[in-house]
Amino acid sequence: MASQVRPQRLSDGQLFDWLRLLRSENVGPRTFRALVERYGGARSALEALPELARRGGAQRPIRLATAEETEQELAVARRLGVRFLALTDPDYPPLLREIDSAPPLLAFRGRIEALQRPAAAIVGSRNASAAGLTFAERLGRGLGRAGYAVVSGLARGIDQRAHAATLETGAVGVLAGGHAKPYPAEAVPLIERMAEFGAVVSEAPVAQEPRGRDFPRRNRIVSGLSLGVIVVEAARGSGSLITARFALEQNRQVFAVPGSPLDPRAEGTNDLLKQGATICTGVEDVTTALEPMRSRDLFPELSANGGGEGARGKRGLFEIGSDAADACEDPEDPAGGAGDRLDALRDRIASLLGPAPIPLDELARAADASARETRVALMELELAGRIEFSGGDRVAAKL
């Protein structure tokens, strides 16, 4: 979508409608884009939500964010100095715009230029070793001197050390919760300094406490903002490895710092190296690999065919425009029986899905359906709360 949208800032009224739609039940980034493109705007999409959720098999009426809730969030944002960057905004981080689940609205504090610089992410263990902390600090400073902003998730350990080392050269922090509920609390002084010299961003409602499921979502933004991700220390099962997986899915470079085979904090990074990650023993390893990417288009396919994510080009499944009108006809409309066909397809797709995520193109083939029909059915199923999306354009049944 992002490559096809004209850069433009939202009016106050459009921002209000976008925020209200995004905060409504079961509206994720992909479905948000599909709805806005299908109905021409967020206000019309809001009016369509109840019927779309009913078609998808919702067991109760979908909950829409109220005007009062939306105005309250905007008021809190103004009080905190938070600005919302829309996916269409010229200031929206360009690399983040290209991922399949780019936040439609990014809540931002700080200097906008920090989000326009080439960036690299440094992530790693919360329970870091002294050597790991020292290396993260040296790496961050070296990247800052080389002209990179350093992105991380504000967690204890490696993340915070990397942020602290790059405050004056451009640190970008990604919150799991809202700006009014920074986590962990000990990071608040660091966050305030980052907002002064760099940037702090979040996709969560401004006053929302971070929940367990919000941390992996945050990680996709950490990698999405970056040309590459460097994992300094990570045990097996670490959240840092989730960030590395997102980076691969987003066509980013993954680096890993080798460690002792006797240290559990090095098991994850050593595994990454076995799987093909680029070894990082100093800042030169990173800058040498990333330098060619600073001046070239990471996503040439987007310019060539007008859409897609990274090298995979799958986002067309969610680009619902006027060409999808036939598949979205009211099921009571007798013209052509489009509604009956979609009802049958929706049931077939729901029956094919299980708890294990499946790529969308495989799902469309298994359902013997076109991309247009599949994307409409999935939009309605998500609004009904029956499916969920994961990284790499995969979908699963919600249990």
**pLDDT tens-place values along the chain, 399 residues long:** 444 556 789 999 999 999 999 999 999 999 999 999 999 999 999 999 999 999 899 889 999 999 999 999 999 999 999 999 999 999 999 999 999 899 999 999 999 999 999 999 999 999 999 999 999 999 999 999 999 999 999 999 999 999 999 999 989 999 999 999 999 999 999 999 999 999 999 999 999 999 999 999 999 999 999 999 999 999 998 999 999 999 999 999 999 999 999 999 999 999 999 999 999 999 999 999 999 988 655 444 444 433 333 333 333 333 333 333 333 344 334 334 556 777 889 999 999 999 999 988 999 999 998 888 888 899 999 999 999 988 767 899 987
pLDDT at 166: 96
**Short-list 180, 177, 237, CA closest to 212:** 177
Burial class (CB in 10 A: 0-12, 13-18, 19+), 25: middle
User: In whole angstroms, what is the distance from residue 32 CA to residue 23 CA?
Assistant: 10
Q: Under a CB-based contact definition with an 8 Å cutoff, are residues 152 and 174 in contact?
A: yes
pLDDT at 157: 96
3-state secondary structure (DSSP) of residue 272: helix
* R_g (Cα) of the chain, nearest Å: 21
Burial class (CB in 10 A: 0-12, 13-18, 19+), 348: middle
Question: pTM for the complete prediction?
Answer: 0.85
pLDDT at 297: 53
pLDDT at 85: 97
